[in-house]
Each structure stands twice: as structure tokens, then as C-alpha cells.
Amino acid sequence: MKLLLIDSCGAQGGVALADTEQAQPVVSAIPLLGRTFSVRLIPAVREALAAAGLTLPQLDAIVIVHGPGSFTGVRVGVSAAKGLADATGLPVIALSRLAVLASLTTAEAAHVALDAGRGEFYYGRYRNHGRRCEQEALRKREEVLAACAAGAFPLVVCEDAVAVALAEAVPTQIAAPMPADALALATDAFVAGQFADVALLDANYLRRSDAEIFSRPQLQTSPTGKAVV
């Protein structure tokens, strides 16, 4: 099968083309820096296709890593995937960046974490090398550490800041996922017919539930104008 893979979630990303019938399945790849996604993503798709000698109609599916990650980057990637799918009728496979990260470790089961800013983390717990999600959530440092302490498998990260912040959990740090790293999960999803509804496809922005948000103490203003809990 021939797949176009797009990942614009992190500080680096880009596009890749894969043909699973080839000995070297990744037939072309164009890396991009995060600040260039909005301008360079679609031209990079054209470059990757030209380098592989393929056209969009010759592909079997579009694969989008749809977050979590940079709000702007994720939105650019999802919009590009939806636009290409609408124009060609190709099916879309949507994958979590946390699942891709989990798939890159040799451990059968893993905790994974990405930087969400403001002292919070995108956290996931996966089994079967990223193929079975047990949990994905936005979590504080103490919550991630508690989850890791309760599980008998490693914490995998790909960012220096996360490795430092969660050092107590002795994380395994690996290279940040690139588009081609989603190929194994995408191939499985294609064979299983796990395609996204393009009309409903959205960015994977992890958020705390309303119950968690509204259970927190709220700041109120006293008659003197001071904030009180």
C-alpha cells in the first residue's frame, strides 16, 4: 500500500511517502521545522510525491498524526489532510502522537508523556507497542509520577524538558517521532479498515474533563477587590 504520512505536531515534523511493497518502504521524506508548517506543508507534499514519482490519486490513504502537540501545528496538519482527502476521495487514518511515541519503544507496554506547557503533560498509557490505548489525558507532574509509580513499565519521553521534569520516574528518552515513524501503526489501521470520518476529524487536543475543571477551587473576588478561594 502507498501512504502519505503527515506530522506537524512538534518542533519538527514534515511529510513522508511510504510504499509497503518496497524493500525500503519509506520512498521519500521532507522534514520541516514547526515554524514553517503553515507555509511549507503543502509544497512539501508535492515535493515528496515528485521525489517518489507518484501522484495523489495513486495513493491508498492519507495518514495524519493529529496531536496532541502544538495547537497551530496540529491544526495545520489536520486541515491539510482533510483538504487533500476532500480533493481526492482518499481515506484518512488519524493517529495519536502519544501512540506513535509508544510504538517506538521496545517495551510491550509503556507510559508516554509530551510537554503540554504550564507545568502539565500530555500523558498516555499504552500496551502492544502503541496499538492499545488504556488512557490519554492532560495531567499535572504529580499525576504523571503517580501513574508511573503504579505501573510496572517504563516512562518514555522525547523532549529534554519532559525528561528533566519527570526525572523522578527515570524516563527513557528517545528521538522525537517523525512522519515515517507512524508507518507501522498506520499499516495496521489500514488493514483493519480503521479510517476516520473526514467530516468529523478534528485535532487531538487533550483537555481535562469538565468534572475535573469545575471540581477545582475557583478564585472569587472579595468586596475589597482581593482574590479569595
**Whether residue 31 is found in the same domain as residue 111:** no
- What is the average per-residue pLDDT within 153-174? 97
* pLDDT at 208 (0 to 100): 58
Indicate if 19 and 77 belong to the same structural domain: yes
Picking from 124, 155, 173, the residue at the C-terminal end of a domain is 173
- Of 138, 71, 63, 140, the closest CA to residue 98 belongs to 138
Residue 62 shares a structural domain with residue 113: no
* Model confidence at 227: pLDDT above 70: no
Q: What is the tally of structural domains in the chain?
A: 2
**What CATH number does residue 184 fall under?**
3.30.420.40
Contacts of residue 133, defined as CB under 8 A and 6 or more positions apart, other chains included, come to: 96, 98, 99, 124, 125, 126
Residue ending a domain, among 173, 197, 216, is 173
Strand locations in 8-46 (E)? 12-19, 26-33
- DSSP annotation of 177: P
Give CA–CA dist 92/48, Å, rounded.
18
Same domain, yes or no, for 167 and 183?
Answer: no
Lowest mean pLDDT among 61-75, 94-108, 195-209: 195-209
Q: If you average pLDDT over residues 206-211, what whole number do you get?
A: 61
- Is residue 189 a part of any domain in this protein? yes
* Residues 64 and 17 both lie in one domain: yes
- The grid coordinates of residue 116 equal 503540554
The answer to whether the beta carbons of residues 70 and 159 sit under 8 Å apart is: no
217, pLDDT greater than 60: no
Higher pLDDT, 84 or 152: 84
Last residue of a domain, one of 156, 173, 190: 173
Is residue 64 domain-resident? yes
Section 203-229 average pLDDT? 55
Instruction: Look at residue 34 in the predicted model and tell me its pLDDT.
Output: 85
Same domain, 90 and 6: yes
What pLDDT, on the 0 to 100 scale, is given for residue 74? 96
- Residues 93, 169 within the same domain: no
Residues in the chain: 229
Question: Is the Cα dihedral 17, 47, 35, 202 positive or negative?
Answer: negative
228 is a domain residue: no
Residue 25 and residue 6 share a domain: yes
User: Cis peptide leading into 25, omega within 30 of 0?
Assistant: no
**pTM confidence score:** 0.89
80 and 181 assigned to the same domain: yes
**Would the pLDDT of 229 be above 50?**
no
**Where is 136: in which H helix or E strand?**
strand 132-140
Q: Which tens digit of pLDDT belongs to each residue from 14-36? A: 999 999 999 999 999 999 998 89
Average pLDDT over the chain reads 91
- On the question of pLDDT at 221 being above 60, the answer is no
Residues 91 and 188 placed together within one structural domain of the fold? yes
Find the domain containing 197 and state its range.
2-97+177-207
| pLDDT tens for each residue of 46-97 | 999 999 999 999 999 999 999 999 999 999 999 999 999 999 999 999 999 9
Q: Same structural domain for residues 71 and 6?
A: yes
- pLDDT, tens digit, 9 for 90 and up, residues 175-193: 999 999 999 999 999 999 9
Amino acid identity of residue 71, one-letter, is F
Same domain, 60 and 129: no
Residue 224 within any structural domain of the chain = no
226: in domain: no
Note whether residue 78 is domain-resident: yes
> Would you state the cell numbers that stand for residue 71, as one nine-digit string?
495547537
Q: Is residue 221 part of a domain?
A: no
Cell numbers that stand for 166 in this block: 519527570
Q: For the ranges 176-180, 207-211, 220-224, which has the lowest average pLDDT?
A: 220-224
- Please tell me the predicted confidence (pLDDT) of residue 218: 46
- Residue 151 belongs to some domain of the structure: yes
